[in-house]
């Protein structure tokens, strides 16, 4: 690493001081220069006063995983100086605010310290504490524009778009950029050895976070009822949906809404609302995270057994309990796969990035109605809240929603008598009816024991008949849900299995392993229950790595339970510290294992 | 078992309502509750009310949670969809269903444990949202299916069947609903069909959350000497505060609206409810006064019954959310999906 369009820098600030807009300005400007870029926000569960970091990776190769090494840090938070200075690679740089003296003992000899008196510059140029504090961030962006050779015209254009209507704000931002830029040009050797150079590699891409992409998916899939309880890191999903609905779902003539968003009193209620709306035939959903998922368990069991649709977005965070709400993990696999008491199983779809969030959200709405069972769209904080570079989203206007087997009045007219839980064609799915259509289709939805006719039962055989059919329904689902995505190489003798966001780091790790002479195939599973081909893949390689972000190797356990593959045949590569994965960590863990086997 | 069907033989001369249905057409499966259970009387009153209102059964949805009361949705209107959900969580399911399809009549049947113990949070918030539904609490002060534990409505000093005296303060659903801003609050007694039927009809016609607390004695676990939810106690302590008369659309109203003690309330659907306060000076449109009066009755060990408060002008959940008049579940997909051109245009924002 480290070179033109191949480096990473990081901003260490205090949250609530306005650094986010400066950071996104930098990222957006690099992206608009045509250079692939990724941002990772590492923020506290707090509104103001705690340390926060933002990492930006610039990569001509288009790698989007979290960077392994930091070339430059903007250290603006004295309380984290020690760890921030230590995080820079040897030969890298520290940009700090030299308005205050730096303890010489804190400095490292193998790192270049670039002092910019951001505080003094802003104190002299602006009035008022608020402006001086906020614009200090813009000033460091100005210094970085010089140091990293970011196109100033692009910065100017981006600022104009953002503040065009507020002239004084635009002027202040321009001035702050200029202050930092001029200071850096005058005092340092600009640009640094690692810097940006214009390319044309982002034209067909956008920068988007997964929660926004999920909300777009829900809008395009025709969801009309959203019920939720705010919880980090899923909150922005429903807020994006609301904003999109205000734009696209308000009747022009009447000003009335073609959607209903219900902020529930808790997640139990949110789950109940989703199921009530799904029962009524609306496409409905909720979004939540760990603690909310725990509260939804009982309703998920009810939905499984009464066979009701509903999409449940789970933007995972680090658990257990409150855990680390602003850190990422994949540790809810157990509590989703078999949520609720009794024999249950739930469909999960695993997007790897925001682009797939959009596509799989639409697939989730189709699957939940087709299979009449809740569907989890499983994201995590890294996908949900960070901006990823993804291909522009596209929509096929020929799309028609799959509403599943729903008997309307005409269809009911053709049947002698309607029974809710009779499977007539062997796929395990029984036709349903919607309330309000026809008295002939009326049935009683009950979570208590019922037979295939929908009647209450405590008869063992009649009960078993229904739950066995539901099992067959999930076998049908396993074959119909989105298939795994593969990356295959000639001569591979290693298999790597994963779900979700680690894909970015795995892609990079596979390239690096190849340079070391280890050839690996990758299977990224996109749905649970697992497709039959998942079992085949696991059996094909001498070494199979299962990469996941939890302590207890939950994905490996699910693979063992569901495919019968011996657990010890699969080698776990685990990372559960709460940060997005780096390729370096994966290469290191895999190499250590391979060397151990070789010995 | 609730799957036992009643014989469907009809007497040819059975009276039919305006949509050609007999009362038997509003019945459901055979009740499996104990003989003499107050809940079965409530069911009979509900059937009477639906029949009199000419309600098409398939345009109603019967919602319930878990418990003896919640089983009763199986015992009426077999041609309506029913949803026997999760203990204490019927309000959220109904809220979601109503959000998706505002055209149906929602009938929620709950109990004191289902609503005021395990489900208190959900009931309270359904009231705040003013979900358009009839919400009946079949209130017997006791857990029937688990054989006689006290519920949140058990009065201080009330005795259990085993002789245990209750010492915790009760939750009164009527006072609670008045505090929360409920737009329709009534109390009645399962054994008083003449009072209950017009209240149920008014509740069904009300747009918004209509709470009816029906004292409904549990003959197996709470109908003994010393219980304050027994038939004998309620008959001795009930005080009809507001006599309610539901006026059908096709019958013209003759009572002058400004009569001293008669209030005529115009419901959203055109029906009118005539309220005759028997307590001097009682005003069923005055929330503060209603609250004070109900409290003072409790102090005198009296049970104020009737339609105690109504605000027919309240805005329901759909008004508050400004939703379109057509049910959301029936909007054509083409009117919901913005299409490819809109998505292409939106992509510029993410660059």
How does DSSP assign B168-222, residue by residue?
Answer: SPPP-HHHHHHHHT-SEEEEEETT-HHHHHHHHHHHHHSSSEEEEEEE---TTTS
How many Cβ atoms from other residues are within 10 Å of residue A224's Cβ? Answer: 28
Q: Which long-range contacts (CB under 8 A, 24 or more apart) does B254-258 make?
A: none
Closest to B91 measured CA to CA, from B122, B135, B70 = B122
DSSP3 helix / strand / coil % (chain B, rounded to 5) = 35, 20, 45
- C-alpha distances in angstroms, A323 versus A51, A292, A320, A329, A582? 18, 13, 5, 10, 22
Helix locations, A415-544, DSSP H: 460-480, 503-515, 532-540
| Domains of chain B from N-terminus onward | 23-335 (3.40.50.970)
Backbone angles phi, psi at A549, to 5 degrees: -105, 65
Tens digits of per-residue pLDDT, B237-291?
988 888 888 876 655 444 444 445 677 888 888 888 887 777 888 889 999 999 9
Tens digits of per-residue pLDDT, B10-40?
788 899 999 999 999 999 999 999 999 999 9
Q: What is the pLDDT of residue A1?
A: 53
Q: Which of residues 172-231 of A touch B (CB under 8 A)?
A: 206-208, 212, 216, 219-222, 224-225, 227
Whether residues B96 and A438 touch (CB distance < 8 A) is answered with no
**Span B47-74, mean pLDDT?**
97
CATH topology match: A208-391 vs A485-598: yes
CATH homologous superfamily for the domain A208-391: Thiamin diphosphate (ThDP)-binding fold, Pyr/PP domains (3.40.50.970)
Find the distance separating the first CA and the last CA of chain A, reported in whole Å: 30
B305, β-bridge pairs: B240
Residue of B nearest to A436 (CA): B59
Nearest Cβ partner of B100 from A265, A282, A299?
A282
Q: In chain B, what residues touch A302 (CB-CB under 8 Å)?
A: 85-86
Nearest-CA distance from A268 to chain B in Å? 8
Contact A355, A209 (CB under 8 A): no
User: Left, alpha or beta for A257 (phi > 0: left; psi -120 to 50: alpha)?
Assistant: beta
Pairing of strands A225-228, A284-288: parallel
Helix and strand numbers (H, E) in chain B are 11, 12
Residue stretches of chain A with pLDDT short of 50: none
Q: Is B148 on the interface with A (CB under 8 A)?
A: no
Contact B58, B80 (CB under 8 A): yes
CATH number of A6-187, picked from 3.40.50.300, 3.40.50.620, 3.40.920.10, 1.25.40.10: 3.40.920.10
Cis peptide before A588 (omega within 30 of 0): no
Q: What is the pLDDT of residue B4?
A: 63
Q: What is the pTM of this model?
A: 0.97
Q: Is B324 on the interface with A (CB under 8 A)?
A: yes
Pairing of strands B262-266, B272-277: antiparallel
**How many A×B Cβ pairs under 8 Å?**
230
Per-residue DSSP letter, B58: G
How many Cβ atoms from other residues are within 10 Å of residue A254's Cβ? Answer: 10
Q: Is B347 on the interface with A (CB under 8 A)?
A: yes
Q: What is the pLDDT of residue B165?
A: 94
Residue given tokens 């003013």 in the structure block: B130
Can you tell me the distance from the alpha carbon of B345 to that of B351, in angstroms, rounded to the nearest whole number? 11
Whether residues A219 and B83 touch (CB distance < 8 A) is answered with no
Q: What is the dihedral of CA A32, A36, A42, A47, to 10 degrees?
A: 20
Whether residues A272 and B96 touch (CB distance < 8 A) is answered with yes
Q: What is the pLDDT of residue B254?
A: 46
Tens digits of per-residue pLDDT, A452-506?
999 999 999 999 999 999 999 999 999 999 999 999 999 999 999 999 999 999 9
Annotate A102-145 with three-state secondary structure.
CCHHHCCCCCEEEEECHHHHHHHHCCCHHHHHHHHHHHHHHHHH
Q: What is the pLDDT of residue B275?
A: 79
Locate the domains of chain A by residue range.
6-187, 208-391, 409-480, 485-598
Q: Which of residues 32-71 of A touch B (CB under 8 A)?
A: 32
Can you tell me the distance from the alpha carbon of B88 to that of B90, in angstroms, rounded to the nearest whole number? 6
Can you tell me the distance from the alpha carbon of A339 to that of A324, in angstroms, rounded to the nearest whole number? 22
The mean pLDDT value of chain A amounts to 97
Crossing angle for the helix pair A129-147 and A167-187, to the nearest 10 degrees: 50
Mutate to test the interface with B, among A158, A223, A280, A433 (most CBs of B within 10 A): A280
Q: What is the pLDDT of residue B257?
A: 40
Backbone angles phi, psi at A366, to 5 degrees: -65, -45
Tens digits of per-residue pLDDT, B218-244?
999 999 999 999 999 999 998 888 888
Whether residues A393 and B95 touch (CB distance < 8 A) is answered with no
Annotate A538-558 with three-state secondary structure.
HHHCCEEEEEECCCCCHHHHH
Residue of B nearest to A248 (CA): B338
How many Cβ atoms from other residues are within 10 Å of residue A390's Cβ? Answer: 22
Crossing angle for the helix pair B120-129 and B90-100, to the nearest 10 degrees: 30
Tens digits of per-residue pLDDT, A408-448?
999 999 999 999 999 999 999 999 999 999 999 999 999 99
Closest to A206 measured CA to CA, from A58, A353, A31 = A31
Secondary structure element (H or E) that encloses residue B273, with its range: strand B272-277
Q: What is the dihedral of CA B248, B253, B257, B262, to 10 degrees?
A: -60
Give the angle subtended at the CA of A349 by the CAs of A344 and A354, to the nearest 5°: 150
**Span B160-172, mean pLDDT?**
93
Backbone angles phi, psi at A48, to 5 degrees: -155, 135
Nearest Cβ partner of A257 from B56, B74, B324?
B324
CATH architecture group of domain A485-598: 3-Layer(aba) Sandwich (3.40)
Q: In chain A, what residues touch B323 (CB-CB under 8 Å)?
A: 256-260
Annotate A384-412 with three-state secondary structure.
HHCCEEEECCCCCCCCCCCCCCECCHHHH
Can you tell me the distance from the alpha carbon of A365 to that of A350, in angstroms, rounded to the nearest whole number? 14
Q: Is the pLDDT of residue B176 over 90?
A: yes
Q: Is the pLDDT of residue B182 over 60?
A: yes
How many Cβ atoms from other residues are within 10 Å of residue A204's Cβ? Answer: 9
Helix and strand numbers (H, E) in chain A are 20, 21
* Per-residue tokens: A99: 């308005």
Can you tell me the distance from the alpha carbon of A361 to that of A245, in angstroms, rounded to the nearest whole number? 16
- C-alpha distances in angstroms, A433 versus A107, A392, A404, A438, B82? 71, 38, 11, 9, 12
Q: What is the dihedral of CA A447, A452, A456, A460, to 10 degrees?
A: -100
Residue of A nearest to B337 (CA): A220
Q: What is the pLDDT of residue B1?
A: 43
Q: Is A435 on the interface with B (CB under 8 A)?
A: yes
């Amino acid at each position: 690493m480290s070179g033109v369009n191949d480096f990473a820098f990081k901003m260490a600030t205090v949250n609530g001081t306005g650094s986010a807009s400066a950071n996104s300005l930098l990222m957006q400007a690099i992206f608009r220069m045509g250079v692939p870029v990724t941002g990772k926000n590492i923020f506290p569960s707090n509104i103001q006063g705690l340390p926060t970091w933002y990492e930006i990776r610039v990569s001509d190769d288009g790698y989007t995983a979290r960077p392994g090494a930091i070339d430059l840090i903007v250290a603006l938070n004295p309380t984290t100086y020690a760890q921030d200075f230590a995080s820079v690679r040897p030969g890298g740089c520290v940009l700090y605010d030299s308005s205050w003296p730096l303890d010489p003992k804190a400095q490292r000899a193998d790192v270049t310290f670039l002092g910019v008196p951001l505080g003094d510059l802003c104190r002299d140029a602006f009035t008022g504490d608020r402006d001086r504090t906020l614009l200090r961030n813009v000033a460091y962006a100005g210094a970085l524009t010089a140091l990293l050779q970011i196109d100033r015209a692009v910065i100017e254009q981006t600022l104009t778009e953002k503040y065009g209507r507020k002239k004084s704000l635009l002027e202040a931002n321009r001035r702050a950029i200029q202050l930092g830029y001029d200071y850096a040009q005058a005092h340092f050797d600009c640009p640094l050895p690692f810097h940006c150079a214009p390319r044309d590699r982002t034209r067909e891409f956008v920068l988007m976070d997964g929660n926004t992409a999920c909300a777009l998916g829900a809008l395009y899939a025709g969801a009309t009822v959203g019920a939720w309880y705010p919880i980090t890191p899923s909150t922005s999903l429903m807020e994006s949906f609301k904003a999109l609905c205000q734009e696209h779902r308000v009747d022009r003539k009447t000003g009335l809404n073609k959607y209903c968003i219900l902020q529930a009193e808790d997640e139990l209620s949110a789950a109940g609302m989703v199921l009530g709306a799904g029962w009524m035939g609306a496409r409905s959903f909720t979004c939540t995270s760990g603690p909310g998922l725990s509260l939804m368990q009982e309703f998920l069991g009810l939905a499984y057994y009464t066979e009701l649709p509903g999409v449940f977005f789970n933007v995972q965070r680090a658990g257990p309990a409150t855990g680390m709400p602003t850190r990422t993990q994949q540790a809810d696999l157990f509590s989703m796969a078999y949520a609720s008491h009794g024999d249950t199983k739930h469909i999960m779809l695993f997007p790897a990035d925001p682009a797939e969030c959009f596509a799989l959200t639409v697939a989730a709405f189709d699957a939940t109605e087709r299979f009449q069972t809740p569907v989890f769209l499983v994201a995590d904080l890294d996908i949900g809240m960070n901006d990823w570079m993804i291909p522009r989203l596209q929509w096929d206007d020929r799309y028609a929603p799959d509403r599943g087997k729903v008997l309307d009045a005409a269809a009911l007219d053709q049947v002698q008598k309607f029974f809710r839980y009779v499977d007539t064609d062997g796929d395990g799915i029984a036709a349903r009816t919607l309330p309000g259509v026809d008295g002939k289709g009326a049935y009683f939805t009950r979570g208590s024991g019922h037979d295939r006719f929908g009647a209450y039962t405590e008869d063992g055989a009649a009960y078993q008949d229904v739950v066995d059919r539901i099992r067959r329904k999930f076998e049908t689902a396993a074959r119909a849900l989105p298939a795994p995505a593969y990356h295959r190489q000639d001569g591979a003798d290693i298999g790597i299995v994963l779900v979700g966001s680690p894909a970015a780091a795995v892609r990079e790790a596979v390239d690096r392993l190849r340079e070391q002479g280890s050839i690996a195939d990758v299977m990224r599973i996109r749905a649970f229950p697992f497709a039959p081909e998942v079992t085949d893949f696991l059996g094909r390689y001498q070494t199979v790595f299962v990469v996941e972000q939890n302590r207890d190797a939950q994905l490996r356990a699910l693979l063992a339970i569901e495919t019968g593959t011996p657990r010890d045949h699969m080698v776990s590569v685990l990372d559960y510290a709460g940060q997005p994965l780096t390729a370096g960590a994966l290469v290191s863990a895999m190499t250590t294992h391979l060397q151990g086997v070789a010995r | 078992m609730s799957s036992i069907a009643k014989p469907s033989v009809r007497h040819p001369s059975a009276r039919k309502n305006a949509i050609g249905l007999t009362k038997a057409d509003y019945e459901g499966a055979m009740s499996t509750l104990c003989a003499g259970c107050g809940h079965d009387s409530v069911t009979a009153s509900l059937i009477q009310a639906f029949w009199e209102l000419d309600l098409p059964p398939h345009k109603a949805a019967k919602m319930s949670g878990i418990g003896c009361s919640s089983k009763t949705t199986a015992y009426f209107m077999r041609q309506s969809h029913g949803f026997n959900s999760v203990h204490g969580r019927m309000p959220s399911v109904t809220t979601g269903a109503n959000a998706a399809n505002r055209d149906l009549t929602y009938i929620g049947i709950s109990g004191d444990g289902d609503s005021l113990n395990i489900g208190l949070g959900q009931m309270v918030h359904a009231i705040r949202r003013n979900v358009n539904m009839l919400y009946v609490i079949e209130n017997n002060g006791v857990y029937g299916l688990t054989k006689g534990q006290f519920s949140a409505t058990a009065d201080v000093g009330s005795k259990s069947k085993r002789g245990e005296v209750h010492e915790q303060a009760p939750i009164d659903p009527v006072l609670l609903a008045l505090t929360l801003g409920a737009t329709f609050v009534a109390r009645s007694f399962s054994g008083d069909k003449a009072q209950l039927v017009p209240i149920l009809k008014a509740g069904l016609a009300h747009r918004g959350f209509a709470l009816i607390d029906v004292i409904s004695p549990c003959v197996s676990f709470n109908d003994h000497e010393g219980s304050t939810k027994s038939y004998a106690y309620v008959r001795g302590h009930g005080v009809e505060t507001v006599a309610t008369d539901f006026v059908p659309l096709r019958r013209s109203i003759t009572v002058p609206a400004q009569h001293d003690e008669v209030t005529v309330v115009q419901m959203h659907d055109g029906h009118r409810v005539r309220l005759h306060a028997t307590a001097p000076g009682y005003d069923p449109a005055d929330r503060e006064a209603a609250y004070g009066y109900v409290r003072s009755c409790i102090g005198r060990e009296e049970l104020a019954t009737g339609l105690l408060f109504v605000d027919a002008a309240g805005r329901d959940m759909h008004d508050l959310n400004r939703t379109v008049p057509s049910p959301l579940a029936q909007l054509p997909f083409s009117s919901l999906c913005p299409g490819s051109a809109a998505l292409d245009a939106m992509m510029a924002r993410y660059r």
